[in-house]
Amino acid sequence: MDYRVQSGDTLSAIAERFNVSVSAAEAANPQIIDPNKIFPNELVHIPVSHASAPGPAPVPPHVVTYIVQPGDTMSGIAAAHNVSLAALEAANPRVTNPDLINPGEVLNLTGGTHAPGGPPPGPSPNGAISVGAVTYGRYTGGGDVSAWTTRACETMDLPPAHWVRGYITLCARESSGRPNAINAWDSNAYGPIQSDGHPLHCSRGVAQCIPDTFSSNHVAETSTDIYDPVANIAASMRYVMRRYGVSSDGHDLAVLVQQADPSRPPRGY
């Protein structure tokens, strides 16, 4: 089971919450160098079955929220989450000026014309699929983040050097580099149960894509399986290029996407 670190969490408190020993939590997360220093948005692995874990705080079945990040705009948030700008504004009547939102504000992503399987506004990328076409077979192959990112770059005809360097950091923070990682505990964890036994909108895979993002940014000639690490990374790369304006050669990836920058603390992307 995986858990996304929240502000104020400590590894010992997380272990206590899920009724496991601190030593077991440390052993399950070798990527955490200092167990006294963990950061929000890190994904940690909990060595416990779902059956013995306490229930998470309930997530309303049709409510998703988003915390505004520096540089965000309402139109950009709408595009990233496949929601029309009008629907986003209608779902947030307290935002009196849509051109003025502040980091830390919590926006409601529901209440309008959500197009679950469609790509964001603008030209559809080559390879985009409907969310219903996403498959959920667990990955059993070999490799590592460096090899998978290189493969994704070859498929997309992009130079790999900067992408590999950035995604080694990003994937270590998102999933500890595990292709079958799944986050069933944050606000995305809602929707109908899929064939892997988890709600539709859970973040999945080595780069922790939600199926909506994976489908609308899917790269042609990669698998439609969200747990396939090459397909997952390729969709994530296309997403950060569209969402954050990362250059095709990835030279500015660490500058524009903090989660890919080893010199700065983890931060969701």
Q: Given the structure tokens 């010199």, which residue do they identify?
A: 263
125 found inside a domain: no
C-alpha to C-alpha distance for 176 and 44, rounded to whole angstroms: 8
What does the pLDDT read at residue 60?
35
Residues 135 and 42 reside in one and the same domain: no
Residues 161 and 241 reside in one and the same domain: yes
54 found inside a domain: no
Residues 11 and 96 reside in one and the same domain: no
Range of the domain at 103: 65-108
Residue 87 dihedral angles phi and psi, to the nearest 5°:
-65, -40
What does the pLDDT read at residue 41?
63
126 found inside a domain: no
73 found inside a domain: yes
CATH of residue 10's domain is 3.10.350.10
Residues 140 and 252 reside in one and the same domain: yes
Residues 145 and 92 reside in one and the same domain: no
Residues 35 and 138 reside in one and the same domain: no
Query: Strand 43-45 to strand 203-204: parallel, antiparallel, or no bridges (unpaired)?
Result: unpaired
Residues 69 and 170 reside in one and the same domain: no
Residues 86 and 163 reside in one and the same domain: no
- The pTM (predicted TM-score) of the whole model is 0.61
Residues 180 and 252 reside in one and the same domain: yes
DSSP 3-state of 107 = strand
What does the pLDDT read at residue 87?
81
Residues 95 and 168 reside in one and the same domain: no
What does the pLDDT read at residue 110?
57
Residues 183 and 210 reside in one and the same domain: yes
What does the pLDDT read at residue 120?
38
- For the chain, how far is it from start to end, CA to CA, in angstroms? 21
173 found inside a domain: yes
The CA-atom distances, in angstroms, between 247 and each of 63, 82, 135, 187 are: 33, 22, 29, 30
56 found inside a domain: no
DSSP 3-state of 183 = strand
Whole-angstrom Cα Rg for the chain: 18
pLDDT tens over the chain, length 269 residues: 778 777 678 888 888 888 889 889 888 888 787 888 787 667 788 886 444 444 443 333 334 667 777 777 887 777 777 777 888 888 777 787 877 888 777 777 654 333 333 333 333 456 888 888 899 999 999 999 999 999 999 999 999 999 999 999 999 999 999 999 999 887 778 888 899 999 988 999 999 999 988 988 899 999 999 999 999 999 999 999 988 999 999 999 999 999 999 999 998 88
Residue 35 dihedral angles phi and psi, to the nearest 5°:
-65, -15
State which amino acid sits at residue 25: A
267 found inside a domain: no
269 found inside a domain: no
- Provide the number of structural domains found in the chain: 3
Helical residues (DSSP H) of the chain, grouped into ranges: 11-17, 22-27, 74-80, 85-91, 145-156, 161-175, 211-216, 229-244, 253-256
DSSP code of residue 193: B
